């Protein structure tokens, strides 16, 4: 549709800038936020760019960028996390940041177009196109249940940390769904469509669906979409494989979950016993700092594990999950 767009580079981009021990800032500087793109990075000319809104709306419409800027600007602070490899939900990748996005509120935007009563899902399409794995030519499309709108905060964002989006992060406009994994935050937005059912795009239906844990009566084929982020905590300090002295140190990190984190516990015996930490409240959908004072009882090797529990009582799995507990090894030097 948009002839003024070219991909540069073409193909998968995976630029993970910071490891857990480098995530020292509460709000991750834009240049340190990881970049993920399946098909390449579109370079978009604003003069020919438009956002179309169609499907099950009362008044289909096209917006120019100027028209979007005229809507009230809203901001939201939220964790921003890549779900990891689409076919390996068992591998934690810890690609995470905490960002302040600003832009137009999707709920307010849809009051302009109206929502037909049969509409159940939002489909969001980016301008990037191309091949992914062995799938045919396809655009990047994701979907979101319209019910998510009632919690608020869903933005059509044009700023990251108060500055215009860069091409890598979705210039000129991207979707931001606080609480959902990053894969749903469609960049280089071109079209929004309301529909009665889920989208059939490869990134919606084939990839990014996790097997449901087998339980009584569950079909082995059952999957659920990679939408809400599960509870997760990372230890920022001490750094994995660091050598420390015998004195008291602060062990701290960040924890997040789509519905907020209630508690973070630490174990020094590989999960046999846990002790709780102090945890800050969350602001909007931000990550939350946890910390505890730790005095090593001896010199030698230690492992520390952090485990978050969300406000619904769900805790992180010990292993084989994208949000499996984070472990650091610490060497305590002889005094
Ligand atoms: N149009 C489009 N949007 C996309 C993607 C993509 O490939 N194309 N990748 C998604 C994935 S997997 C992630 S993790 C986030 C990453 O956002 P960031 O690169 O701004 O950090 O963008 C999402 N939005
Ligand atoms: Mo991702």
pLDDT digits (tens, 9 = 90+) for 99-152: 999 999 999 999 999 999 999 999 999 999 998 888 877 789 999 999 999 999
Query: What is the structure's pLDDT at 47?
Result: 94
Which stretch of 71-80, 92-101, 217-226 has the lowest confidence by average pLDDT? 217-226
Q: How far does residue 297's CA lie from ligand 1's centre (Å)?
A: 44
Q: Give the separation between CA 327 and CA 317, rounded to whole angstroms.
A: 12
Residue of higher predicted confidence among 219 and 258: 258
* Mean pLDDT, residues 218-241: 91
State the Cα–Cα distance between residues 160 and 175, nearest whole angstrom.
Answer: 12
Query: ∠ CA(83), CA(13), CA(62), 5° rounding?
Result: 80
Give residue 4's pLDDT. Answer: 56
CB proximity list for 216: less than 8 A, separation 6 or greater: none
- Residue 170 CA: nearest ligand 1 atom is 20
Query: How much distance in Å is there from the Cα of 311 to the middle of ligand 1?
Result: 27
Banded pLDDT at 217 (limits 50, 70, 90): low
pLDDT range class, residue 215, cuts 50, 70, 90: low
Substitution site in 18, 30, 32, 36 for ligand 1 pocket (most atoms within 8 Å of beta carbon)? 36
Ligand 2 is a single-atom ion; what residues have CB below 5 A from it? 36, 82, 182-183
- Which residues surround ligand 1 with Cβ inside 6 Å? 33-39, 82, 126, 128, 140, 169-170, 182-183, 185-188
Indicate which ligand has the atom closest to the C-alpha of 13. Answer: 1
For residue 182, the ligand closest to its alpha carbon is 1
Using CB atoms within 10 Å of the CB of residue 134, give its burial: 0 to 12 exposed, 13 to 18 middle, 19+ buried.
exposed
Q: What is the 3-state secondary structure (H, E, C) of the chain?
A: CCCCCEEEEECCEEECCCCHHHCCCCCCCHHHCCEEECCEEEECCHHHCCEEEEECECCCEEECHHHHHCCCCEEEEEEEECCCCCCCCCCCCCCEEEEEEEEEEHHHHHHHHCECCCCCEEEEEEEEEEEECCEEEEEEEEEEEHHHHHHCCCEEEEEECCEECCHHHCCCCEEECCCECHHHCCCCEEEEEEECCCCCCHHHHHCCEEECCCCCCCCCCCEEECCECCCEEEEEECCCCEEECCCCEEEEEEEECCCCEEEEEEECCCCCCCEECEECCCCCECCEEEEEEECCCCCEEEEEEEEEEECCCCECCCCCCCCCCEEEEEEECCC
The residues pairing with 163 across neighbouring beta strands, listed in sequence order, are 160
Which residue has its alpha carbon closest to ligand 1 atom 5?
Answer: 37
* Residue 268: cis peptide before it, omega within 30 degrees of 0: no
In a 13 Å sphere around the CA of 40, the CA atoms on its Cβ side amount to 18
Query: For position 220, what pLDDT does the model report?
Result: 66
- Among the atoms of ligand 1, which is closest to the Cα of residue 127? 1
pTM for this model (two decimals): 0.96
- Cβ-based neighbours of 274, under 8 Å, separated by 6 or more: 265, 266, 267, 307
**Mean pLDDT estimate for the chain:** 95
User: How far apart are the CA of 92 and the centre of ligand 2, in A?
Assistant: 12
On the question of pLDDT at 3 being above 90, the answer is no
Q: How far is the CA of 182 from the centre of ligand 2 (A)?
A: 5
Q: Cis peptide leading into 104, omega within 30 of 0? A: no
35 CA: nearest ligand 1 atom: 19
pLDDT band of residue 219 (cuts 50, 70, 90) is: low
Proportion of the chain above pLDDT 70, given as a percent: 97
What whole-number distance in Å separates Cα of residue 237 and Cα of residue 87? Answer: 31
Proximal ligand: closest to the CA of 124: 1
Q: Whose CA is nearest to atom 14 of ligand 1?
A: 82
Segment 18-62, tens digit of pLDDT: 999 999 999 999 999 999 999 999 999 999 999 999 999 999 999
Tell me how long the chain is: 335
Beta strand pairing call for 51-55 and 189-195: parallel
How far, CA to CA in Å, does 228 sit from each of 177, 210, 231, 257?
9, 12, 10, 8
pLDDT of residue 71: 98
Instruction: Give pLDDT, residue 213.
Output: 72
Q: Give pLDDT tens digits for 159-201.
A: 999 999 999 999 999 999 999 999 999 999 999 999 999 999 8
pLDDT-based confidence at residue 1 (cuts at 50, 70, 90): very low
The Å distance, Cα 99 to ligand 2 centre, comes to 15
Residue of minimum CA distance from atom 24 in ligand 1: 186
Torsion angles phi and psi, residue 164, rounded to 5 = -55, 145
- Identify the bridge partners of residue 15 per DSSP, sorted by sequence position: 35
């Amino acid at each position: 549709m948009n002839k003024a767009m070219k991909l540069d580079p073409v193909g998968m981009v995976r630029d993970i800038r910071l490891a857990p021990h480098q995530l020292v800032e509460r709000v991750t500087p834009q240049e340190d936020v990881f970049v993920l793109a399946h098909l390449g990075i579109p370079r978009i000319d604003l003069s020919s760019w438009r956002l179309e809104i169609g499907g099950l709306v009362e008044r289909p419409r096209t917006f120019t960028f100027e028209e979007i800027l005229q809507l009230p600007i809203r901001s939201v602070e939220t964790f921003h996390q890549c779900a990891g490899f689409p076919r390996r939900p068992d591998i934690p990748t810890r690609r995470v940041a905490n960002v302040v996005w600003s832009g137009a509120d999707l709920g307010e935007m849809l009051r302009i177009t109206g929502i037909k009563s049969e509409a159940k899902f939002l489909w969001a399409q980016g301008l990037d196109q191309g091949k992914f794995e062995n799938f045919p030519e396809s655009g990047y499309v994701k979907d979101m249940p319209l019910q998510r709108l009632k919690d608020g905060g869903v933005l059509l964002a044009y700023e990251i940390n108060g500055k215009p989006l860069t091409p890598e992060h979705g210039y000129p406009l991207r979707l931001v769904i606080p609480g959902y994994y990053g894969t749903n935050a469609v960049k280089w937005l071109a079209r929004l469509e309301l529909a009665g059912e889920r989208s059939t795009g490869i990134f919606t239906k084939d990839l990014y669906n996790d097997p449901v844990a087998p339980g009584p009566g569950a079909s082995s084929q059952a999957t659920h979409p990679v939408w809400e982020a599960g509870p997760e905590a990372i230890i920022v300090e001490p750094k994995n494989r660091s050598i420390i002295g015998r004195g008291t140190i602060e062990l701290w990190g960040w924890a997040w979950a789509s519905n907020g984190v209630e508690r973070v516990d630490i174990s020094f015996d590989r999960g046999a016993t846990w002790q709780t930490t102090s945890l800050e409240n969350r602001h909007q959908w931000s990550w939350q700092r946890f910390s505890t004072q730790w005095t090593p009882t001896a010199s030698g090797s230690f492992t520390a594990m952090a485990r978050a529990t969300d406000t619904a009582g769900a805790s992180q799995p010990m292993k084989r999950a994208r949000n499996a507990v984070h472990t650091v090894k610490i060497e305590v030097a002889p005094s």
